[in-house]
Amino acid sequence: MTDEKLPFWIGFSKVPGIGPVRLKALLDYYEDIQAAWQANPGELRAIGLDKRSVENLVKVRGKLDLEAELAKLEKFKVSVLTWKSQDYPSLLKNIPSPPPVLYVRGHLMPQDEWALAVVGTRRATTYGKECTRMLVRGLVENGITIVSGLAYGIDTEAHIAALKGGGRTIAVLGCGVDIIYPSDNRKLAQSIVENGALISEYSLGTKPDSGNFPRRNRIISGLSLGVLFVEGSHKSGARITTNFALEQGREVFAVPGSILTKAGTGPNYLIQNGAKLVTSVNDILDELDLTMVSQHIEARKIIPDNETEATLLKQLSSEPLHIDELGQITGLPAPEIASTLTLMELKGMVRQVGGMNYVIVREADINYSVN
């Protein structure tokens, strides 16, 4: 996907009624996202798009300033991943109807493919909070990224425990990534941006809505190898996440709860119906064969072969940087930079994203010392 196509993906993410299924049908027909965006209403109806979706598209298309949307993304330092993006999370891409567009504040890293979702009630008990802290601490010590939903209760405890343990955590939102909900978690959200990512399929400015959160839960489970249900009732939102996990072929784990409290009914029900009972972090690590994650991550490190590569790697990130800017920053001769970048691209260390702009391929896995 070329950069000039990105505005049209953003545009479709703002059209009510055109989700993954309808957008896939449009792309199957047009093959090009821009052609689908600019198609006339009669043609859209002729290929099977329902009347309301066509009307919504025409309405949004008529009033939406795509350039202004790009400017907002830059203002809030939000990156966008689409089905066509190489960095789109592979686990998520393989679920039924994955979100066509992901808005990201912060950075997703290759090691995030070793992730576990931790979910539970907003009204967490002392027992639930302590279990969350203990288990999350053990998970991040083993290189596991923690995925949750930034809600009060278990979600908040999971994110905080991951950060305190020096690990990475991802929060999936039911609103735009420029809107923090609940607002009390603003400070926590900023820490997550610095040590993980805020993610949403909803465009900037989308306010929290009750209908958004069940859809959000499929992303929480989709990003993860499994879901750990710590505490909550049999009918809680966290149970929706475990249902998605089962549909997606993910493992489901549960912490046994008290039979005297409502908060224990959800996990206990799951355990009765086949979920893995968890009393220690090893129950999760062994079931998912995650005892060697740190070694896997270490094996993926990119090591520069010479000083020029090391110098360029220090300046590159996930934000595109022009080759001329690299020359100004490093003081290296232009031919040397060009030839080195060509070799680095062949080795999979960097990628050209158009117009002689380069990004690093795996920012977190770079060892800046020369081999």
pLDDT in tens, 284-295: 999 998 876 766
Same domain flag for 127 and 256: yes
Please check whether residue 49 lies inside any domain of the structure.
Answer: yes
Same domain flag for 223 and 161: yes
Q: How many domains does the chain have?
A: 3
Same domain flag for 46 and 137: no
> Residue 351 sits in a domain of what CATH number?
1.10.10.10
pLDDT attached to residue 274: 94
Please check whether residue 81 lies inside any domain of the structure.
Answer: no
Same domain flag for 8 and 148: no
Same domain flag for 255 and 170: yes
Same domain flag for 161 and 211: yes
pLDDT attached to residue 2: 42
pLDDT attached to residue 362: 53
Please check whether residue 270 lies inside any domain of the structure.
Answer: yes
What is the identity of the amino acid at 258?
S
Query: Cis peptide before 182, with omega less than 30 degrees from 0?
Result: yes
> Residue 61 sits in a domain of what CATH number?
1.10.150
Ranges of residues in the chain whose predicted pLDDT is under 50: 1-2, 363-371
Same domain flag for 273 and 352: no
Please check whether residue 177 lies inside any domain of the structure.
Answer: yes
Same domain flag for 59 and 148: no
Do 58 and 81 meet the contact criterion of CB atoms below 8 Å apart? no
- Phi, psi (deg, nearest 5) at residue 321: -130, 130
Same domain flag for 218 and 333: no
Please check whether residue 73 lies inside any domain of the structure.
Answer: no
Please, what's the b/e burial string for 229-258 (b: 16 or more CB within 10 A of its CB; e: otherwise)?
bbbbbeebbbbbbbbbbbebebbbbbbebe
Q: What span, in angstroms and rounded, lies between the C-alpha atoms of 237 and 224? A: 17
pTM over 0.75: yes
Please check whether residue 85 lies inside any domain of the structure.
Answer: no
Q: Domain limits at 155? A: 106-296
Do 59 and 16 meet the contact criterion of CB atoms below 8 Å apart? no
Please check whether residue 87 lies inside any domain of the structure.
Answer: no
> Residue 144 sits in a domain of what CATH number?
3.40.50.450
Same domain flag for 313 and 169: no
Is 301 in a helix, a strand, or coil?
coil
Same domain flag for 289 and 261: yes
Of the residues 296, 317, 335, the one at which a domain ends: 296
- Phi, psi (deg, nearest 5) at residue 78: -105, 130
pLDDT attached to residue 136: 98
Please check whether residue 95 lies inside any domain of the structure.
Answer: no
361 to each of 83, 111, 260, 316, 320, how far by Cα in Å? 17, 13, 51, 9, 11
Q: What span, in angstroms and rounded, lies between the C-alpha atoms of 103 and 80? A: 5
